[in-house]
Structure 1
Amino acid sequence: MVLVHGIGMSSRYFRNLSRRLRGHRRVVCVDLPGHGGLRRPGRDVDVAAMARGLAVVLERTDAAGCVVVGHSMGAQWVVETALIAPDLVARVVAIGPVTDDAHRTVPAQAAALAMDSLREPPRVNAVVFSDYVRCGIRWYLTQLRHMMAYPLEGRVARLSQPLLVLRGARDPIAGTRWCRALAASARDGRFVEIPGAAHVAQATRTDAVAAQLLALVPAER
């Protein structure tokens, strides 16, 4: 399983989930360029370019046939990776995918993010906002432009792999109607809601998210 963070974030908020999964599956956590304290590229990197980089990572880590799991904007990156390199990706999981068609302006996204911060525990907010600082406002805004423009519904409809859409039941960023519609857009899509969770469901309801992921593929020997 390959875990891919969202905009401005790093693999830090996957720590509990990766520990929970590692007893049963091989797990690869990815920090993308400009995130997690990594050097920012000297050029613009759109969703397709980031996905091509992810495909290289999958090849070099011998992760062919993997489940790619993306949170928030990470859902865009993993969907595009699955389209670019279908032989490497067996299944796609989108946790709290963006951009909800009810929040397709920057002010609307900012308001939803602010609302979510009130629903997350302090430990999660500490990771989120410290990662935003490490990412930096310039790179964040560069990626935000690509996030807002990416046509996720249309790209999901092209997937040959099964898609699982996970949403925290209290998530103000990825709404129920949007997530259901996204799953319905896929050829083989399924929607699951995680009770009690907001946007960062993998950090606050780790066992519930892990159970959904572990059910996707048989256990490795």
Structure 2
Amino acid sequence: MPTRTAAPRRAAAAGALREWTIDGLRFRSWSSIADPGAPTYVLIHGVGMSHRSYVHLHRELAPTATVHSLDLPGFAGLAVPRDDVTVSRMGDALAELIRELCPAPAILVGHSMGVQWAVAAALRHPASARAVVLIGPVVDDRHRTLLAQARALALDGFREPPRVNGRVLLDYLRSGLRWFFQQVGHMLAYPTERRVEELRVPVLVVRGSRDPVAGDDWAHRLAGHAAEGDVVVIPGSAHHVERTAARAVAGGIMAFLARRSVRPA
């Protein structure tokens, strides 16, 4: 069983900040707490990113739900683990953190590589998730190389607003090259489509219509691997659709959950 400790609460419940150590990995959670009975979302950023990826989506979801935005080990200024952390190990630690944060299964939302960590948590610990939302998912199984992903990411930079590129660059710089590329190696090796196939909860794939990282064909093929899958495409947005079109993403998620009758436990 992973070991865990929690630092004292350092902010009011409306924007509560806590730090956690689980299995030797340091996490940070930013939480908005709703009334009991409201749905709970856990927002998981991608490689090199931070909870700031979700500032706008968090705000859109919070009026009617409890929302936890996470900072993951080695990112957002958190300590870089001394040993390797595979997707499976990160999923195990995330599931333990989710159990601490949520009294009932949550809706797990991942962006980019955060998709893989969310899927691993839901698959390896089914009691942690009621549904999984995959935003800009990686890695397209027909383009599973570092060169292909680097090209797609570079192209995406020309399609994002300057403010988004600036935030992304700052987060990348804080993660450090060694940790970043170690995680990218795990990202490329992880068969997202096969793991999604094993999930038994509803799966929503969300992409921006101009996203070169998560193309339309890949998004629909990935949703097709799920037992209960669907796709939402947000017009005009690129890879960081959770930042640039948060209201549309939130609306798409809530409509999907209503269609699939996913309700709080």
TM-score by length of 2: 0.81
CA displacement at 1:206 relative to structure 2: 1.0
> CA offsets, 1:31-51, max 9 Å, x none?
110011100001000000000
Q: Which amino acid aligns with 1:197?
A: S
Q: Comparing both structures, which one devotes a greater share of its residues to strand?
A: 2
Asked if the contact 2:203–2:226 (Cα under 8 Å) also holds between the matched residues in 1, the reply is yes
Larger RCO: 1 or 2 (CA < 8 Å, sep 6+): 1
**Residues 1:133 and 2:173 are matched in the alignment:** yes
Q: Which residue is equivalent to 2:104? A: 64
Give RMSD over aligned pairs: 1.3
Give the counterpart of 1:11 among 51, 55, 62.
51
Kindly, what percent of the aligned residue pairs are identical? 49
Give the counterpart of 2:215 among 175, 182, 187.
175
C-alpha distance in 2, partners of 1:76/1:54?
A: 12
**Residues 1:26 and 2:28 are matched in the alignment:** no
CA displacement at 1:64 relative to structure 2: 2.5
CA displacement at 1:212 relative to structure 2: 1.4
CA displacement at 1:87 relative to structure 2: 1.2
**Structure 1 stretches of 5 or more lacking a match?**
none
Q: Which residue is equivalent to 1:118? A: 158
Asked if the contact 1:96–1:167 (Cα under 8 Å) also holds between the matched residues in 2, the reply is yes
> CA offsets, 1:98-124, max 9 Å, x none?
001232111111111000000000111
C-alpha distance in 1, partners of 2:183/2:105?
A: 28
3-state DSSP class of the match of 2:123? helix
**Structure 2 stretches of 5 or more lacking a match?**
1-40
Asked if the contact 1:24–1:219 (Cα under 8 Å) also holds between the matched residues in 2, the reply is no
> CA offsets, 1:109-159, max 9 Å, x none?
111100000000011111111000000111000000000000111100000
TM-score by length of 1: 0.96
C-alpha distance in 2, partners of 1:200/1:189?
A: 21
Name the larger-Rg structure. Answer: 2
Asked if the contact 2:141–2:191 (Cα under 8 Å) also holds between the matched residues in 1, the reply is no
Q: Which amino acid aligns with 1:154?
A: R
**Residues 1:104 and 2:110 are matched in the alignment:** no
Change (3 A) 1:219 1:185: closer
CA displacement at 1:20 relative to structure 2: 1.1
**Residues 1:164 and 2:204 are matched in the alignment:** yes
3-state DSSP class of the match of 1:12? helix
Change (3 A) 1:38 1:63: farther
Change (3 A) 1:116 1:33: same
C-alpha distance in 1, partners of 2:167/2:145?
A: 25
C-alpha distance in 2, partners of 1:147/1:63?
A: 30
Q: Which residue is equivalent to 2:187? A: 147
3-state DSSP class of the match of 2:52? helix
CA displacement at 1:13 relative to structure 2: 1.5
Give the counterpart of 2:82 among 34, 42, 49.
42
Number of residue pairs the alignment of both structures matches: 220
CA displacement at 1:85 relative to structure 2: 1.1
Q: Which residue is equivalent to 2:248? A: 208
Asked if the contact 1:183–1:189 (Cα under 8 Å) also holds between the matched residues in 2, the reply is yes
